[in-house]
Amino acid sequence: MKLQVGDIAPDFRLKNQDEIEVGLKDLNSKGIVLYFYPKDNTPGCTTEAEDFTQLLEYFFQKGFVVVGISPDSPKSHKKFIENKGLKHILLSDLDKSIAEKYGAYGKKMMYGKEVFGIIRSTFIINKNGQISKVFYNVRVKGHVKEVLESL
Q: Which residues are catalytic?
A: 45
Q: Where would I find the beta strands (DSSP E) of the chain?
A: 13-16, 21-23, 31-36, 64-70, 89-92, 105-110, 113-118, 121-125, 131-135
Residues constituting the chain: 151
Q: Beta strands 21-23 and 13-16: pairing type?
A: antiparallel
Any idea what DSSP says for residue 71? S
CB neighbour list of residue 144: distance below 8 Å, 6 or more residues apart: 48, 51, 52, 54, 55
The span from the CA of 19 to the CA of 75, in Å, is: 8
Q: Are 65 and 90 in contact (CB under 8 A)?
A: no
